[in-house]
Amino acid sequence: MVRKMYLACHMKPFIIILLVISGFQIITSGQRVSSDSTFTSGLSFEIIFDHLTEKEGLSHNMVTSMIRDREGILWIGTQSGLNRYDGKRIEIFRNKKGDPSALKQNLITDMTLDPSGDIWCGTEDGIICYLKKTNTFTPYFLQKPGYIPRIDCIVSDHRGKIWAGGAHGLSKLDPETKKIIPIAQNNAGIHGLPNHKLIKNSLVFDQKNNGLWIGTSKGMAFFDIRTEKITSILNTGNRDIFNDHWISALHLSPNGMLWYYDNTTQDIIGYNTIKSKLIYKFPLKNKLLDPHNGFIFETGTHEIWYSSNSYEIIRINYQNGIKYELIKNDITNPASIAGDLICAAFEDEDQTVWLGTIAGISRYNHKKSFYRKVKASQIFPELEEN
């Protein structure tokens, strides 16, 4: 089980103030669907982060993906190697010349866990499977001429089939037959994708609906893995989720809420996949300078983390009123988030949230964040330096 560690940071000229309750005051208010929103300023209580970086043994600070296996081991994909973290020690897997069982490609783009417990990695050069029983890696390549081998998103379904997306489109890998089968693309009639090019965070598996949600630059699509047919704006227009908008940053919460970013309207959308109903709309226009594409993650306390490709991070609390908070790295504060771009996230049983950033992993726990840092000069003006 991954152990949780919390770092007490001592910073001159800061002092620690004990608060009676945990929580935060935020800088903006938001909206539910069809409501007005306002933007107001206010005091924001800092989140206290501790970090896991190259200094602690991580193979690279650029974290691209994170998953936890059944034994509680955290697997961390980076720009240079795969990391196995048991809470005490980090084991690094990298390419080794002359070793056919080693990792074939060091740049991990995405990861997924199959029902048997094996780890599947998307890379710049196809798919790689880590077999836990043998502690070896098996590569799979897209052989069709003209295909771009880079995999940007990868998921496993409940049967163990692997689904991978990239500039080549969507493909299915059957571990039993070892074959990679391309799925209908945008030139395949009404059951094709609105746009065949898939980017990172554009693919999630929905077990309750037995299919894949796919975000493209030409709209949302749903792929039924039983019929292998795609529902999109090409063949239906009767649901708000299927339109010709530019959709990215998909995340499916355990409660069936599908979160995604609508680049066309600049809104974060919450779509209830069980009721087939659009529930939430959080506008980001005028809140971030350039909130395109990015990454979405919902915590167990119903906080939404959104990180855009423009290196801006916003946290949204939609319980008891909808509030926004900007999160930024502060190079003078080692307890701030490690980097201003989040590419991966994970939450463990005690609600510790792990955020994989461009500068390492940052962790926090809202139940234990009962203190914050305040400049001493705010309380004692005589300490202000001239």
- Asked if 343 contacts 352 with a C-beta cutoff of 8 angstroms, the reply is no
Long-range Cβ contact pairs of 212-216 (< 8 A, separation 24 or more) = 212/155, 212/157, 212/163, 212/170, 213/250, 213/252, 213/258, 213/260, 213/273, 214/165, 214/170, 214/250, 215/247, 215/248, 215/249, 215/250, 215/260, 216/246, 216/247
For 144, 205, 263, the CA distances from 73, given in Å and listed in that order, are 35, 22, 35
pLDDT along the chain (386 residues), means of 10: 39 37 31 36 62 97 96 96 96 92 94 96 94 93 70 96 93 91 69 89 96 96 92 83 95 97 97 95 93 94 95 93 92 95 95 96 80 49 57
Give the pLDDT confidence score for residue 367 in this predicted structure. 78
Q: What is the 3-state secondary structure (H, E, C) of 174-225?
A: ECCCCEEEECCCCCCHHHCCCCCCCCCCCEEEECCCCEEEEEECCEEEEEEC
What strands lie across the sheet with 352-357, from one edge to the other? 50-52, 360-365, 352-357, 342-347
The pLDDT of residue 322: 86
pLDDT for the residue 142: 73
**Is-contact 202 153, C-beta < 8 A?**
yes
pLDDT reported for residue 236: 83
The Cβ-side half-sphere exposure at 182, using a 13 Å CA radius, reads: 22
| pLDDT for residue 141 | 82
Residue 180 confidence (pLDDT): 87
Q: What is residue 345's predicted lDDT score, i.e. its pLDDT?
A: 97
Structure confidence at residue 189 (pLDDT): 67
Residue boundaries of the structural domains of the chain = 62-165+176-182, 186-269
Instruction: Return all residues near 30 (Cβ < 8 A) that are at least 6 apart.
Output: 37, 282, 283, 316, 318, 322, 323, 324
The SS3 call for residue 370 is: coil
CATH code of the region 62-165+176-182: 2.130.10.10
| Residues ≥6 apart with Cβ < 8 Å to 11 | 332, 333, 334, 335, 373
Name the H helices within the chain: 376-379
pLDDT computed for residue 49 by the predictor: 95
